[in-house]
Structure 1
Amino acid sequence: MDQDKKVYGLFIDGQWVTTGTTIPVLDKFSGKVYAHVAQAEQAHVTKAVDAAQLALKTPLPAWRRSAILQQTAERLTVNKEKLGELIAIEAGKPLKDAIAEVGRAAETLRLSANEAMALTGEAVPVHAFPGSENRLAFTLRVPLGVVCAISPFNFPLNLLCHKVGPALAAGNAIVAKPASATPLIALKLAEYLAEAGLPAGWFHVLFGAGSTVGEWLLDEPRFAAYSFTGSYAVGLHIRQRVGLRKSTMELGSNSATIIHHDADLDGAARQCARMAFANAGQVCISVQRILVHRFVFNEFVEKLAAQTGELIIGDPKNPHTDVGPMINQKEAERVVAWVEQAVDDGARLVMGGTRQGALVQPTILTHVHPKMPVWCEEIFGPVVSVAAYDYLEEAIDKVNDSAYGLQAGVFTRSIDVALSCAKQLEVGGVIINDVSTYRADNMPYGGVKNSGTGREGPHYAVQELTETRVVVFNHR
């Protein structure tokens, strides 16, 4: 890639490929064009899959896959400040969070490297069955083949690594379609993988709209699996199109956090303020709904507003900024419209609710009702709604009264309350004494209901991206 020209190609079969059409990449804070990337045509999808299938004919041994991932992780670590600056520009993510994302991505690849060296099957005691006394059986974990990875704009590096790392660790080849809004960091990953020794054909990067390139990817019958992170509507469409082929779907949520009357209110308010507005609320497990015991409701809202008021809002390239712009002005307009509708319908605006361009002020609402979109749908913006409850069972019911179920947080000093929530909350993860937004990259991550299917986290994703093959010996 030539940084000076600021025009970037697709990455296909180890080569940079230019096309007749380009997509502008904007600096999300200034709104100015920062670079252009090539837009894929249908022939590029075919070419990428052809090359991926050819690469699979010469499998990479586990030690080599592990070494490539480890070396790529090292490159990310060495260049984390520069890469963080790139994410801050093209995603609008505050610089300190962008640099942290690079660190997480490196760890995701290291975890994936470890999984490449630990793929194993198990013995199956078929000899215990009458007539099988002389048989020996065991299982193998075998790669699926060519994997299609479709990743979002909000964590443009780490969420791509959560697809690429485990897929490579398992021995698959990958064709990736990162979000067109944040394509440049994906090309840096392709560059680093190649420098680390990944042969041509094993990783490809295509750009384009879901209505064109996305549909061509779904039309391609040679993909063995799809890994997607994005909206419920698109995830459902993919599942309907790909049929019986494997798919992992990490979809949306309107994640809730419960603040019980015995909670550390200062700590809870601090964490809720930070994670309701991190990345301008554009996080699948962002704190969108807070349920607070009525005994401490007013006190908590005051503390939450005070903590929120200390956040620094502005240019994401400023190392002190806490909240940057949303991905584009259209999304910012939608979020403010939802807030205004909620206020018109009776919600109380504690703070925020305005915008300048794509920069939306952190917004706190109270007195919301369950049918308001700010409560029952995924807002995916810097807005949090706070409601009161009288009994724990009521809070649990309100959390579960959702089409989504990704993660939930619970602040309490009571083991009984914590365990009751862990057992009864209908989500993929229950986080005790922290917010719903907590995620370590080695934990199983995924949801229930409309929040998706399957689990990410390298150990768990490798299982999703391999098949169990049983081998039976009849030794006479």
Structure 2
Amino acid sequence: MLLIDGEWIETDEKIAVRNPFNKEIVGYASRATREQTLAAARCAKAYESDLTAYDRCEILNDTAAQIEREEAEFVAQIVAECGASVKEAQKEVRRAVTLLRVCAEEARRISGEAIPTDVTSDRKKNLAVTLRVPIGLVCAITPFNRPLNQVVVKLAPAIAANNSVILKPSEKTPLSAVKFVKCLIANGLPARMVSLVTGDPGEVGETLVTCPDIDMITFTGSRAVGERIARSAGMVRMTFELGDSGALVVLDDADLELAADVAAKGAFATAGQSCRGVKRILVQEGVADRFAALLVQEAKKLTFGDPYSPQNDIGCLIDEAAAQAVEDRVDESVESGAKLLYGPPRDGAVLGPRVLDFVPKESPLVREETFGPCAPIVRIKDLAEAVDCVNGGEYGLQTGVFTASIHQAFEAAQKIKSGAVIINDGPQFESPFIPFGGVKKSGLGREGARFAIEEMTTVKTIVF
């Protein structure tokens, strides 16, 4: 269904949403036209919220409480449309609940400052204050890999900041988004404050990013699409999260058992379909053999396959074509000199963990963002080579570094060009309280509750 001007609308043309594991149809989404998309944006832009900070805090907290009560239903929806395992879907729902509650509290803390003006030779004793006011209409475009949490990441801070929102979820996984928006409205969000449109990215997405009613675009997805949006959108605020070739650096004084455990979790969670996952592991040569053996052990502990099975750690990729593309990239890396240490046969969209060693630094498997369950080891001589390797790429979202040396930790933190450097943990580290975003081709702006709210507000100065 579409949500336009506070009304849910069914269209004649539908998009069939299929479970990627068994290819069964699990629901339908309405296919919005260009005209409907423009109407949705126009109506959302026209609505001016009079919600107080207390109101917004209450709506977000009550929504979190309902999702918590209905966790099983949300988990089932996530598993059905994106093929995540039950275990992964449960984690996603709990992350969404936590973020809603953090954004609810941040809604109470949006404030400005007083600025003295008698500091120049004019000696004018005016009173200047700043306020953070809503930026206007936020266009949120979300990907398939976390169909609930990625929507919450965009909508919760936008609502906390008192903006109107128009949401376009992935056409592959729109059902969790619809369910979440209904939950918001059931808990007091004015229906006209949020619009939802589903449909073809080329029609609906392109219409939105060029729409004159949009004041801000917040997008998570591929670098190619992000760059196209940046060229098309014009003078609007933008926050982009465009992925990473996420590096985990393991030096020879590291806790190898812990590093292997973190590497496996970062590389294989969500079947490797995570923007902040481990995409390459830069291991110092002296400990590479031992680390590789430990990583294979960790990979073999994981069960994968049917996402509906509560026993499985990993479900499947979003479709068979995605699994095939990852497998092709692994094969290409092996042909270039890498050694496949572990890799069960692919079965449709199900692709088990892959551990590779001796991967060439220039292999597309590690230079690009490989969106699948791969743990490629690149052997490096020292920290300096690791830093050069990380900084030489086009991405820079988050980087993990394992070392027992405080000196090497500080050197890595200072020299690595990433949005975040995490010491003795992986690039998958996340917290709703810290800024999240990248440098270079990984994106623009920052997410994370308070930081996203700042992106979604503008500063107004008042001088008395």
TM-score interval (norm. to shorter):
over 0.9
Equivalent residue, structure 2, for 1:383: 374
Equivalent residue, structure 1, for 2:276: 285
Write the distance in 2 (CA, Å) between the matches of 1:280 and 1:112. 28
> Which structure 2 segments of 5+ residues have no match?
none
Give the TM-score, by structure 2 length: 0.98
Q: Do the aligned partners of 1:69 and 1:113 also contact (CA within 8 Å) in 2?
A: yes
Secondary structure, in 3 states, of the residue corresponding to 1:388? strand
1:39 equivalent to 2:31? Answer yes
1:28 equivalent to 2:20? Answer yes
1:95 equivalent to 2:91? Answer no
Give the TM-score, by structure 1 length: 0.95
**Counterpart code for 1:60:** L
1:133 shift after superposition: 2.3
Write the distance in 2 (CA, Å) between the matches of 1:277 and 1:424. 28
Write the distance in 2 (CA, Å) between the matches of 1:432 and 1:422. 8
Equivalent residue, structure 2, for 1:337: 328
1:160 shift after superposition: 1.0
Equivalent residue, structure 1, for 2:117: 126
1:241 shift after superposition: 0.9
Equivalent residue, structure 2, for 1:276: 267
Counterpart of 1:395 (choices 369, 386, 392) is: 386
Write the distance in 1 (CA, Å) between the matches of 2:342 and 2:97. 37
Counterpart of 2:434 (choices 443, 452, 468) is: 443
1:350-376 deviation per Cα after TM superposition (whole angstroms, max 9, x unaligned): 111631101112111122212211011
**Counterpart code for 2:416:** L
1:160 equivalent to 2:159? Answer no
Equivalent residue, structure 2, for 1:82: 73
1:260 shift after superposition: 1.1
Secondary structure, in 3 states, of the residue corresponding to 2:189? coil
1:383-405 deviation per Cα after TM superposition (whole angstroms, max 9, x unaligned): 12101122211111112121000
1:53 shift after superposition: 2.4
Equivalent residue, structure 2, for 1:217: 208
Q: Do the aligned partners of 1:85 and 1:99 also contact (CA within 8 Å) in 2?
A: no
Write the distance in 2 (CA, Å) between the matches of 1:400 and 1:370. 12
1:171 shift after superposition: 1.1
* More displaced 10-residue stretch of structure 1: 160-169 or 59-68: 59-68
Write the distance in 2 (CA, Å) between the matches of 1:422 and 1:92. 36
**Counterpart code for 1:182:** T
Equivalent residue, structure 1, for 2:40: 48
1:296-337 deviation per Cα after TM superposition (whole angstroms, max 9, x unaligned): 110000010011011001111211211111001111111111
Q: Do the aligned partners of 2:2 and 2:197 also contact (CA within 8 Å) in 1?
A: yes
1:73 shift after superposition: 1.0
Identity of matched residues, %: 39
1:188 equivalent to 2:179? Answer yes
Output the aligned Cα RMSD. 1.2
1:222-252 deviation per Cα after TM superposition (whole angstroms, max 9, x unaligned): 1000000001111111111112210000111
* More displaced 10-residue stretch of structure 1: 127-136 or 304-313: 127-136
Equivalent residue, structure 1, for 2:166: 175
Equivalent residue, structure 2, for 1:14: 6
Secondary structure, in 3 states, of the residue corresponding to 2:191? coil
Write the distance in 2 (CA, Å) between the matches of 1:192 and 1:355. 38
1:146-182 deviation per Cα after TM superposition (whole angstroms, max 9, x unaligned): 1100011111111111110111111100000001111
Q: Do the aligned partners of 1:340 and 1:353 also contact (CA within 8 Å) in 2?
A: no
**Counterpart code for 1:278:** A
Equivalent residue, structure 2, for 1:428: 419
Secondary structure, in 3 states, of the residue corresponding to 2:378? strand
Counterpart of 2:350 (choices 359, 363, 372) is: 359
